[in-house]
Amino acid sequence: MNKFYNLALYSVTLLLTLVNPVWAKASKPNFIVILTDDQGYADVGFNGSKDIVTPNIDRIANEGTRFTNGYVTYSVCGPSRAGLLTGRYQGRFGFGRNPIIDPTDPLAGLPLEEQMISEVLQGVGYTSSAIGKWHMGSHPKFHPNNRGFDHFYGFLSGGHRYFPEELIYEDEAQGIAMDSHKSPSNSWYHTKLLRNNEVVETSTYLTDELSREAIEFIEQEKDNPFFLYLAYNAPHSPLQASKEYLARNTHIKDKKRRTYASMITAVDDGVGSVLAKLEQLNLDDNTLIFFLSDNGGALKSSAKNVPLRGMKGDFFEGGIRVPFAVRWPEKIPAGVDYNNPVSSLDILATFASLTNASISTERPLDGVNLMPFILGENQGLPHDVLFWRSFDSNILASRRGNAKAISSSQIGDHLYNLSNDLAERHDLSEKQSNTFDQQKVEMDLWATELQDPIFRKLTDGPIKAANKKHNEKKAKERIARSEGSEGY
């Protein structure tokens, strides 16, 4: 009897696998992170936007969980993305500023000894793709294909032009050379795209190119557990939108705001294409998607962060609190708001916990698995405190409960109660000096765990030949320190 039962069970399992290969890997969810660039807190429908319409992005929040207090680890893109990809405060490994775009500089990138999401998931059988903006280093050793990503399509630098006719240089090195000969600044914005290590010619608007490639990756990996890091550079400057998207935003009279909105419309269409492809392939229920911006909106681009104070580059809420949501139909209930503070640090921790992936004990994560909190299994706070630091501006900030503290040699000391002062209008640092002092001590102590930035600023010039050997030596010394320590 048992033999017949086992044979029947095997036959059913084999049949299900042949008919729908997805069934065989149902225990391993697919993971997607959709990251926008400089998108304002109020520039999505799920945070109240009226003029910028984002029905597909809103689906992620409406059919999942919206994080009303969702933070990133820095107020500009490079360090913020480094924190997201490693699940660790980026200051722990010296990524405290945007790195110089210089493919000859072996220091200017995310240290190889730090594990990215792709590298963690590689150990449990995932295929990974990075599509869009990289900004984790342009030296060959920092290339996405050397960081656990099986597939890469995009550009290595921190910004890009959107129209294909403007992409004229073969690679970042050529762009850097042009910059050094007094050509237009940021000529690496004009490089052609890469597919893995090969230069490709494109013919369509950049955001559409990235969305198309994401769809192709999902189609290609539909039978395997995958991680897709869809890192749009929209709506980061330059403000460029195609006629098609501009025509869908004629209700916005301000020209700059209309172009900015149109760039988000392009992203929203891409998100819609991703969701549609998942449904078509019966992958929807078993795919966990995070959506967020890498930092607050840039007001010079007409972004809106209301009701938050500040913008990109600030450590007021408008610089670090972002549109943030997660969707997983099989596990996460729809239409839920989660109101306790969470961080982009938590994305890797969540993926690792769901897959039992191993994390280096020498470099423990600063993030936490969000699933017990989302599902109501843990009623506590995911984080007792969150921290921020700008080394170059000498700013420290923290949020403990509803108390938000900022210590700055430039703008002074600040303390706000975010429960009744979301716009950070009423400084309580003098009236509640004990609270501020306690957080200041805590911030200073945390800062002792961090490294100074290990590379030159984005605004610095190309590396000179005389300094090349010096930088190579410094890179070897840093790696040697990390290998001989308990982590840093």
As annotated, the active-site residues are 77, 135
Q: Encoding tokens for residue 297?
A: 């909106």
Quick check: 263 and 163 in contact, CB under 8 A?
Answer: no
Range 261-265, long-range pairs (CB < 8 A, 24+ positions): 261/43, 261/51, 261/52, 263/162, 263/207, 263/234, 263/235, 263/239, 264/36, 264/39, 264/43, 264/44, 264/52, 264/54, 264/234, 264/235, 265/52, 265/53, 265/54, 265/241
C-alpha torsion angle, residues 211, 215, 220, 224 (rounded to 10): 100
Angle at 52 (CA atoms; ends 49, 53), nearest 5 degrees: 95
Q: CA neighbours within 13 Å on the CB side: how many for 264?
A: 32
CA separation for the pair 420, 414 (Å, rounded): 15
CA separation for the pair 332, 351 (Å, rounded): 14
CA separation for the pair 383, 400 (Å, rounded): 8
Instruction: Give the count of beta carbons closer than 10 Å to the beta carbon of residue 447.
Output: 14
Angle at 289 (CA atoms; ends 288, 294), nearest 5 degrees: 145
Quick check: 373 and 340 in contact, CB under 8 A?
Answer: yes
Please, which residues have CB within 8 angstroms of residue 367's CB and are 6 or more apart in sequence?
87, 88, 343, 344, 345, 346, 347, 348, 349, 350
Q: Which amino acid is at 19?
A: V
Q: Encoding tokens for residue 118?
A: 């792709």
Q: Which of 208, 186, 197 is nearest to 132 (CA)?
A: 208
C-alpha torsion angle, residues 60, 278, 163, 185 (rounded to 10): 60
Q: Which amino acid is at 252?
A: I
DSSP string, 280-305: HTT-STTEEEEEEESS---GGGT---
Instruction: Give the count of beta carbons closer than 10 Å to the beta carbon of residue 461.
Output: 11
CA separation for the pair 263, 241 (Å, rounded): 6
Pairing of strands 65-67, 336-338: parallel
